[in-house]
Amino acid sequence: MKLREEHVQRICKTVLSRWKEKRMIRAKAPDDVLLAKMIGEIQKDFQREEALDREVEALMEKHSREMSLSQANARVLFQKIKDRLAEERGIVL
């Protein structure tokens, strides 16, 4: 599920403020720098997942004839392939 940028920003601000309140971190950089890093990492993660989705779709397209003969559920198969590739590559979904 892709989140809108303002939601990602709000989540990151909340997480950062709670970490600081609970003294889970001692910031060595200003909040805006930390937030930018957090948001950047989340956006990179979304991009990795989108690339994984494209790869799974390409694999499914390549084997679409075999799938139609076996009556496989495309959505279930997509998720299984995605889960397996993500596990192999160390991507947390």
C-alpha torsion sign, points 9, 87, 80, 85? positive
Domain count, the chain: 1
Of 56, 63, 64, 51, residue with least CA distance to 81: 56
- Residue with structure tokens 């997480």? 15
Instruction: Name the percent of the chain in helix, strand, coil, to the closest 5.
Output: 75, 0, 25
pLDDT in tens, the chain (93 residues): 578 889 999 999 999 999 999 999 988 999 999 999 999 999 999 999 999 999 999 988 887 777 666 666 777 888 888 998 889 888 888
> Are 56 and 85 within 8 A, CB to CB?
yes
Domain span at 23: 5-89
